[in-house]
Amino acid sequence: MAIFGSGERFQGFPEETFQFFREIATHSSDKAWFEENKERYREHVLKPIQALVEDLGPFMQLLDPQFDILPKVNHTISRIYRDTRFSRKKTLLRDHLWVVFRRHQGRLSEEVSYYFEIWHDHFEYGMGFYSAPREWMRELQQRILANPERFRNIALQPVLRETFTLDGKRYTRSPFKEFPEDLREWFYLKSFYFYREEPNHPLATSPKLVETLKEGFLILYPMYCFIQKMQPLVNVEFNPQKE
């Protein structure tokens, strides 16, 4: 399915997107069903996701010029077919899809990414890792210890804590004996990501989703820069469109 951009502006996900996800959940191992409904997938699932990527792409490259923004499956858009080779779950088809913006410097699970994920009833967006490499987390935690005040000014910002939830796999006992108490959670994390979950209605069905994602991704930007050891691009601004 090497389909490139839709060439259209994002207008919101139609109800047919959510209906497709509901149906595929009951046909998750039925390749014949998917072949019969492939045009529905292309029109009501892939096409609006490509339009979303196209509308977000220029903004995301302002945040990091190295981001891949190609609105194509296996670049920014996940496959509908699952890779079952190393998974306990052997269902063939996904009942949801996601978008990622990353540099493509390693495995998806081990690379920091901005993401958007959509199911039949809700969507989620944020930034972080699926499974950060152990040595990478150790290096990050050492950098936090070396400059806790700088990290505190990022991680404890009210707008970040009020908008997103920090989650990830944790140690029962921290490998660090000493750390700032107000940054305690960071020294128990094996991996991490920030996320926000919303019901599909009304945002996912509206063009306003684009500006909502931009605003959220910009809130996460100082943390992204700390993670990537890069200086923020001072010219990046976000001005929500007034209607």
> What local confidence, expressed as pLDDT, does residue 82 receive?
82
pLDDT of 106 reads 75
Tens of pLDDT, residue by residue, the chain (243 residues): 334 455 679 999 999 999 999 999 899 889 999 999 999 999 999 999 999 999 999 999 999 999 999 999 999 999 999 876 555 666 889 999 999 999 987 777 789 999 999 999 999 999 999 999 999 999 999 999 999 999 999 999 999 999 999 999 999 999 999 999 999 999 999 999 999 999 999 999 999 999 999 999 999 999 999 999 998 874 444 444 433
Q: In this predicted structure, what is the pLDDT of residue 234?
A: 44
Where residue 223 falls (left for φ over 0; alpha for ψ -120 to 50; beta otherwise) is alpha
SS3 assignment, position 198: strand
Instruction: Report how far apart, in Å, the C-alpha atoms of 42 and of each of 77, 106, 201 are.
Output: 13, 28, 22
Residue 166 belongs to what H/E stretch?
A: strand 165-167
Is the alpha carbon torsion for 39, 44, 50, 55 positive or negative? positive
DSSP 92-128: SB-SSEEEEE---SS-GGGS-EEEEEE-SSEEEEEEE
What CATH number is given for 15-228 in this structure? 3.30.930.20
pLDDT at 235: 47
Report which secondary-structure segment, H or E, holds 18.
Answer: helix 15-25
